[in-house]
A and B are shown apart, each in its own frame.
Chain A
Amino acid sequence: MKLISCIIRPYRLDEVRDALAAAGVSGITVTEVRGFGRQKGHTEMYRGAEYVVDFLPKLKVDVVVTDEQLDGALEAIQQSARTGNVGDGKIFVSPVEQVVRIRTGELDADAL
C-alpha cells in the first residue's frame, strides 16, 4: 500500500476528487496548507506599503491506495490537477505499513 500526498491548487479540488473516485479510490483527506515552490510568492500593496507574500495557499490531499491502484491514482491526480502553469503542485508517494479501520477492525486492503 502507498500513501499519496499531493499539493494542489485549491480550486482544482473538485476535479481531483472526481478523478480519484473514477480511479476507484474510496476516501481522501484534505488539509489547507501554505507553501511555495518554483511559483514563489507575490507582492501585495496597501497604501504605500508593500508586502511580499511568500507562502501561497494550497491544499494537501492525502489518499492511501493499494499497490495496484497506485498508477491509476497518480495518473488521475496529474490529469485533474494540471493547468500547465507554475504552481500546479507536487505528488509524493511513500509506503504504508498497516491500515486499520477503526469501526470494524479490518486490516490493510480491506480497510481502505
Chain B
Amino acid sequence: MLLVSPVSHAAEAAPTVDKGDVAWMLTSTLLVLLMTVPGLALFYGGLVRSKNVLSILMQVMTVFSMIVVLWVIYGYTLAFNGGNAFIGNLDKLFLKGVTKDSLAATFTTGVALPEYVFVVFQSTFAGITGALIVGAFAERMRFRAVLVFCALWFTFAYLPIAHMVWYGPDGFMFAKGALDFAGGTVVHINAGIAGLVGAYFVGPRLGLGRESMKPHNVTFTMVGAAILWVGWFGFNAGSNLESNAGAALAFINTLVATAAAVLVWLLIEAVHKGKPSMVGGASGAVAGLVAITPACGTVGPMGSIAIGAAASLACVWGVTGLKKLLRADDALDVFGVHGVGGIVGALLTGVFSAPMLGGTGYGSGNSTMLQQVGVQALGVGVTLVWSGVVSVIAYLVVKLIFGLRVSAEAEREGLDITSHGESAYEG
C-alpha cells in the first residue's frame, strides 16, 4: 500500500503512463511546495516576535531549497533505490539513469509514472520535513548552524527512515506491513523529535517566562495554516500516486479529519480557557492534518473524524502539559503538534484501518488490530530513537564546528537585523 520503488519491467509488457495521473502528481507537487513556502513560512512567521520574522521565513525557504537540491543529488537514490533494509544505494547518484523515458511504479500493476514526477514529488516531502524542524529552535539559532544541521539530519535521519518505511519490498518497516500513507512517521514524528532535541541543545530563548513572547501576527499564522490545509491535499491525496478513488479517499479523509480537529481544539479552549482563539483554531487544523497523514489512505471518513478529534485532544496536552513536563523551549511546538500528532495518527492508523471500523484493511502480514497497532508502535519507536540519536550527534557536530546559538546581544536585538541585515517593519 505504500510508496514503492521504481520498476524495471524489461521482461513484461510496457506499463501505461496515464496523463491524468501525471497532471495530478505535478499538481500535488506544486501543492506541497505551496505548503512550505509560503504556507509553513507564514504559519511560523506569525508565531514569532516581529524582530525575528524574516529569520524564520529565511530558515524555512533556505532549508527547503537546500534539501531539494540534496535530494536530486543523492537523496533520491539513497531513499528509493535498491540497497538493504535501512538505506538505498548510490546507483542513481546525480539522478544517473533517470531520463524522460524511465518510469516509477504506482500502486497499480501496469500503471507507472514518469520517474521525474516521482523524484520531484518526493523532493518536496523531504524539503518540508527539514523546514518543519526550524520551528523548535526559532528565534535564537545561528543561520549556518540551522543549515548544516538540517543537511546532516536529512542525510542520516530522513533518508534512512523514508527508505525503511516507504521502500518496498525491502524497507525495514515496509516489510513488516507498517502503514504510513503520506508520512506521519517519516515526516512528522521524524521532524518533531529532531526539533525537540534541538530545543534542548540550543537552550531556551532569553527571557523565556519573564518577557512576552506572544505571536506578533496571528493573521499570518491563520493565512499560513489555511495554505497548509489547502496544500496538504497534494501531500496526502498525492501520495496515492494515481488520480483515482484512492486519491479521493485520502482527500475526503484529509478534509474531515482537519475540520473535526479544528472544532475539538476550539471546544477545548472554550471550555477550559473561556475563549476559543485563532491560534488555537490554526493549531487544531495542523494537528488534524498531521494525524490524518499516515491514515488518510487506509481509514474511512468516520475513522478520520475520530483521528482528528483525538489529535486535538492529544496536541492541546502536547503544547501545555507535555511541554511543561519536557522543560524544553520548543518555541513553535514542533514536537507538541507534529511529534505528538504524528504519534497519535500513526497508532490510530492501526486501529481505524480495520475493515469493521470503515478502513480498507491492515498492512500485508498483519491480520489483527493488535498486530497492526504493534507494528505502528514499532515504527514510532524506531523513528523516535533513530531520528533522536542522529539529531544528538548532528547538533553536537554543528556545535563543535561553529556553535549553535547567536550571541546574547544578537538575540536581544533580533535575528532579522543581526543575521540577515534586514528588518520586516518600519518603526
Q: For residue B280, which residues in chain A have a CB less than 8 angstroms away from its CB? A: 47
Q: For residue A49, which residues in chain B have a CB less than 8 angstroms away from its CB? A: 213-214
Q: Does residue B368 face the partner (Cβ distance < 8 Å to A)?
A: no
Q: Does residue A102 face the partner (Cβ distance < 8 Å to B)?
A: no
Chain A 13-55 interface mask (CB, 8 Å, partner B; 1/0): 0000000000000000000000000000000111111010100
Q: Is the CB of A47 within 8 A of B212?
A: no
Q: Is the CB of B319 within 8 A of A45?
A: no
A49 to B329, CA, bound (A): 12
- A72–chain B nearest beta-carbon distance, Å: 37
A49 to B49, CA, bound (A): 14
With contact pairs A51-B212, A51-B214 given, residues A45 and B275 touching in the complex (Cβ less than 8 Å): yes
Counting chain B residues whose Cβ lies within 8 A of the other chain, the interface size class is 10 to 19
Which label, helix, strand, loop or mixed, suits the secondary structure of the B interface? helix
Q: Is the CB of B323 within 8 A of A44?
A: no
User: Which listed residue, B279, B323, B324, touches A46 by the CB 8 Å rule?
Assistant: B279
Q: For residue B336, which residues in chain A have a CB less than 8 angstroms away from its CB? A: 47
Point out which of A44, A46, A47 has the most chain B C-beta atoms below 10 A from its C-beta. A47
Number of interface residues of A (CB under 8 A): 8
Q: For residue B283, which residues in chain A have a CB less than 8 angstroms away from its CB? A: 47
Chain A 41-83 interface mask (CB, 8 Å, partner B; 1/0): 0001111110101000000000000000000000000000000
Question: What is the chain B residue whose CB lies nearest that of A54?
Answer: B212
Q: Is the CB of B212 within 8 A of A45?
A: no
Q: Is the CB of A47 within 8 A of B333?
A: yes
Q: For residue B277, which residues in chain A have a CB less than 8 angstroms away from its CB? A: 45-46
Q: Does residue B407 face the partner (Cβ distance < 8 Å to A)?
A: no
A45 to B323, CA, bound (A): 16
Q: Is the CB of B215 within 8 A of A46?
A: yes
Q: For residue A53, which residues in chain B have a CB less than 8 angstroms away from its CB? A: 212
Question: What is the chain B residue whose CB lies nearest that of A52?
Answer: B212
Q: Is the CB of A45 within 8 A of B273?
A: yes
Q: Does residue B360 face the partner (Cβ distance < 8 Å to A)?
A: no
Q: Does residue B320 face the partner (Cβ distance < 8 Å to A)?
A: yes
- B8–chain A nearest beta-carbon distance, Å: 49
- A56–chain B nearest beta-carbon distance, Å: 14
- B47–chain A nearest beta-carbon distance, Å: 8
A51 to B275, CA, bound (A): 14
Question: What is the chain B residue whose CB lies nearest that of A45?
Answer: B273
Question: What is the chain A residue whose CB lies nearest that of B324?
Answer: A48
Interface residues of B in 259-278 (CB under 8 A from A): 269, 273, 275, 277
Q: For residue B215, which residues in chain A have a CB less than 8 angstroms away from its CB? A: 46
Question: What is the chain A residue whose CB lies nearest that of B337?
Answer: A47
A44 to B319, CA, bound (A): 16
A51 to B277, CA, bound (A): 14
- B407–chain A nearest beta-carbon distance, Å: 25
A53 to B323, CA, bound (A): 23
Interface residues of B in 318-344 (CB under 8 A from A): 319-320, 323-324, 333, 336
A36 to B279, CA, bound (A): 26
Question: What is the chain A residue whose CB lies nearest that of B332?
Answer: A47
A80 to B222, CA, bound (A): 37
Q: Is the CB of B279 within 8 A of A48?
A: no
Q: For residue A51, which residues in chain B have a CB less than 8 angstroms away from its CB? A: 212-214
- A85–chain B nearest beta-carbon distance, Å: 20
Q: Is the CB of B214 within 8 A of A44?
A: yes
- A61–chain B nearest beta-carbon distance, Å: 22
Q: For residue A45, which residues in chain B have a CB less than 8 angstroms away from its CB? A: 269, 273, 275, 277
- Told that A48-B316, A48-B323, A53-B212 touch, could you supply 7 new A-B pairs with CB distance under 8 A? A45-B273, A46-B279, A47-B280, A47-B283, A47-B319, A48-B324, A51-B214
B-binding residues in A (CB < 8 A): 44-49, 51, 53
Subset of 27 A-B contacts with CB under 8 Å: A44-B214, A45-B269, A45-B273, A45-B275, A45-B277, A46-B214, A46-B215, A46-B277, A46-B279, A47-B279, A47-B280, A47-B283, A47-B319, A47-B320, A47-B333, A47-B336, A48-B316, A48-B319, A48-B320, A48-B323, A48-B324, A49-B213, A49-B214, A51-B212, A51-B213, A51-B214, A53-B212
Closest 5 CB pairs of A and B: A48-B320, A48-B319, A47-B319, A51-B214, A46-B279
